[in-house]
Structures are given as C-alpha cells and as structure tokens.
Structure 1
C-alpha cells in the first residue's frame, strides 16, 4: 500500500448474498471499522425484517449507522451523505482503509459520488403528496410523475413511494422536472473508492433470498411487525417484509400468501440492485463463495494503483 490517499472499500451486491459477513472479514483484515449504507438498517425498531447485523456481528467489528435513528425520525439520503462523509473523514485520521457495506444503491452513490443539489422543497407539498398516497394510492402518484417528468418515471424504482414522492415534490416545488436537476458529475472526495461486488447465478440468489425470508419468519418477524402495526403508515415501514405482513394483519391476505409476496418482492429488489450496481464499470466482481484472501489480494492491487 504505497499510496498516501485514504481508501474506502465499498461492498455492494444483491440482498442475502453475504455482504455483511464479507465486510466483517475485511474490517478484521484491515483492522478498521464499518459504515453501513443500508437505509433500512438505520432504524432501531426494524431488526429482523432488515437482516440487520446481529449482536455477535456488531461485536466482531465496529459498525456505524446501524439502528441509529427511529422510524419516527425524518432522515433522508442527503442527511446520510453528510453524516457518512463526516464519519469516514474522522475514521481516516486513524485508519488508512475504511469499509462501507450496503445494498441501497442511492445511498452508496451519495457517499462515493455525491448527490446533486436539489431545490428546497415546500413542506406543504410533501404533506399533500403523503396524504394523496394514503387516499388515492401509489398508482395515482406514479401517473402524476409520468405527466410531469417521464424521464424520471422511466428511471426510478416506481414501487418505492419515497422515491416517487421525492421526485414529485421537487417537480411541484420548482416547476421544473426532477431530472433537470440531475447531473452526471461526481463530487470530489478526499478518498479513493474501491468497489467490491458479490454476486451469484440468479437461481442461487433467489434461493438464498427464499431461505432468508423463511429464517426471518422463524426468528419472529411477525411479532416484530405486529409491534409496528400502529405506525404502518410511516414511510420507513413501507418496505419489503413489513408492508406484506401489514396486509395479513389487516385481514387482506393469509399468512402463507404474505410470506410468498415477501419472497417475490425481495427477488424483484435483488434484480433492481444488480441492475443499479452493474452500471459501475470499475467494480471488482466476485462470486459469493470466493475466498476472502483472494478478494484482499485484488483490493491490494487496486490500492497500489490508487
């Protein structure tokens, strides 16, 4: 490691592929700490359904941004960008290498590339859109976005209400399409990012997802969701693993169907994650079974080039 530039190793890949386990191995190898870029694991009330690191895993290496806020808190990707960059810079004072891990593509990009500067949003507009979501449903918001900004409509994860509302509130507050504010220029960072991707054949990924969901149910996911049911309308809870079981608790679906929907929606999410992460042509991709020392060797080669 002859480069003086601090290094951020960013571990990406689809859900249930083994990112957490790899991040701990790499943190131990490089004697460093872990930044979580999994936006669902930020919430302290959501442990089982987000596959947040266990107490044993948290003890195995120091973690940051795991269960650090409440579902009642307003916390967006811009807040995370500022907080994560500040923490990474602080860690780099005593560690040459810092690890970041997470499957939330937008949050990963916020740290590695930076977010575009978006206009200030009128809170009244945000509140109206949230009300519209409750009364008219997500499809009405999707239709509105298609009319106002078809470019964004064709690009974002339309089944994510927060993403749709974020784009709409910018359109309505500024009078311009959300897409007009997005540039491809990356912000300058004081560190070099080396991105490591884990993957597998699609059938293996899907099988791992199905087994993980079964384990979540076995570990008490339904009990966790029942405790959160009174707050089911919060944006943080409009996510895979929770929204499906809310339908069961409301009597709309039976439990077996709700669990099968969690599996289906998790598989769809994994597909979107891979599409997002494959856009980065500099990622070092490895099969999920690759020995950690082989991954370390590839990282060290990349560090020498930094």
Structure 2
C-alpha cells in the first residue's frame, strides 16, 4: 500500500509560511493542519498573525482558532489530536499540509515527543563485547528478558537495533517499547519538510513591518480585551505581555511596540537556530517566483515517487 505524505512547511515567524501552505494545498487539492500553538486560540487572531478569513477560504484549515485562551491544552494533547485528524484526512487525501513555526509541535507530529538518550559509550562497549564473544543470540535473550513487547516487533537479526534498545533500557530503567510508543517508527506517513529562507536583515525588516501592521489592524484593542486573562499561559507570549506592561503604566506605547519587535526577532533567531540543525529541509527563497514554486513541486513529486 502507498504511504501517505505530509508536507511540513516550516520557518521563522513572519517569513510567509501561511501563503506557501495555501499555495501547496491548492496545488495538491488538499487541507492544512496548523502546528502554530499560538494560532490555536481564537481570541488572539491579530497578535498571532492568524490566517485571514480570505486565506481560510482558500483552503480548509484545522486547529486555527479552535480553542479559547481559557482552555488548558498541552503539547501531548495536540500530538494526539493532530495524529487523529491526519488519520482522518489521509482517508481522503494522499497528501496533507502541516504548517507552523512552533518547533516542538511540529516535532510532536512528525516524530513524537520522546527524546531518547544518546548512546552510552560504556554500555555500547559492553554490548559489543557480548555480541563478539557470545553472538547475536545472547543479545536477543537479553532484550527478550528486558522488554518482551519490543522483542516481539524488532528485527532481531539486526544487532544494531538490539544494541540500541538494550543501551536505552540500561540508561533509563524503562522499557524501550514504552519510550518509542510515539516515535518516528510509529508514523505511517512520509514527511517532506519545506522551508523559506531569507537574509537575516530582510527577515528582521519583515518582522518589524508586520508588528506595525498588527498595531494598525487593532492589536492594542485585542490585547486590552485579553487583559483579564493575562495570568494564563496562552497570554504569556510576545505581542501581548509587552502591551500588558503598557496598560499597567510600566512602559510607554512606543517602547512596548519596540519590545514586541525585538522579542519577535529574538524568537525568529531561536527558530533559525533550530531549523539550521536539520538536514532534511528543502528551501525556497523568500518572494519565490512561479518558476521556484514549479521546481518545488517537482522536488515534492520526486519525494512522493520514492515513497511508492
């Protein structure tokens, strides 16, 4: 059976992910799942740069404005909800779009949240010696004893898999099967990650202009309406916490706006650092042309073909 495809559009705040996700959704006649944790909250439309009603009308979106700031919602709940939603969408579509700059929320969908420890050198040496002196059967026996559930599903002729699992169990004292319950192994779709890149100065200029536009569009009024909820986690975020300080008389408005810009640029810098570590993101230039978009579609189709 053909594997399904998830095209994940990533990148820093303000770079144009929403537009690219919509262009891709229209090309593939599919739907969009958001992994932008701030856009989940319906009362925070302006400050989170949620897609406009026009944009939402161009392609079906999920998890945009689906919660109230008063709702408690964890990343674990999101992982469960997003996978459930994807399973439903994959019944109708070969390909679905994921978009958002919340790094851990994307990771929750495409990999699962469990961070397994790095290999322990001493454990690896011990296990390698067992393998060399007593053969693979001894490793199989060890794993079967420590974690019968994983032993039942692992390729037990692959000694590297056995070494890895036993090492993790020794380090954590927990069964490997429990720790990988939501790992990449359990994802039955292929992820194709797409990014947009821009010179840093250009990105920072876009972020500054976007904050000015948010202010013109009514961010001040939106933040004022949310002031009674400022103690909630959802509101402890760039664009709101700075304006709350203005309302309290701690800062003047110009300074609060300049802090929103500064903190948005800082957040973008953290996002860039995170994405730079990944070697599986195919990048488009900012302000991509139709030609750039066409070659992106070619790249995606090649990846999809590899999947069949």
Normalising by structure 2, we get a TM-score of 0.76
1:132-168 deviations in Å (ceiling 9; x for gaps): xxxxxxxxxxxxxxxxxxxxxxxxxxxxxxxxxxxxx
- What's the counterpart of residue 214 of structure 2? 216
TM-superposition CA deviations, 1:82-141 (whole Å, max 9, x none): 0000111110111000000000000000000001289xxxxxxxxxxxxxxxxxxxxxxx
Change (3 A) 1:80 1:187: farther
CA RMSD of aligned residues (A): 2.0
Contact 1:39 1:104 in 2 (8 A): yes
* Higher Cα radius of gyration: 2
**Unpaired stretches in structure 2, ≥5 consecutive residues:** 117-171, 173-177
Give the drift of 1:288: 1.7
Counterpart CA distance in 1 for 2:273 and 2:115 is 24
2:142 corresponds to which residue?
none
The answer to whether the 8 Å contact 1:114/1:187 transfers is no
Partner of 2:184, secondary structure, is coil
2:22 match: 24
TM-aligned CA deviation for residue 303 of structure 1: 1.3
Alignment partner of 2:186: what SS? coil
CA distance in 1, matches of 2:200, 2:57: 32
Question: Aligned residue pairs: how many?
Answer: 243
- CA–CA distance in structure 1, aligned partners of residues 96 and 184 of structure 2: 20
Structure 1 spans left out of the alignment, 5+ residues: 119-175
In the alignment, which residue of structure 1 is the partner of 2:300? 299
Correspondence list, 1:172-183, <5 A: none
For 1:109, the equivalent position in structure 2 comes to: 107
Q: So what's the TM-score if we normalise by structure 1?
A: 0.76
Q: 1:217 to 1:201 in 2, by over 3 A?
A: same
Measure the CA separation in 1 of the matches of 2:301 and 2:115: 34
| Alpha-carbon distance between aligned partners in 2 of 1:260 and 1:30, rounded to the nearest angstrom | 40
1:186 shift after superposition: 3.3
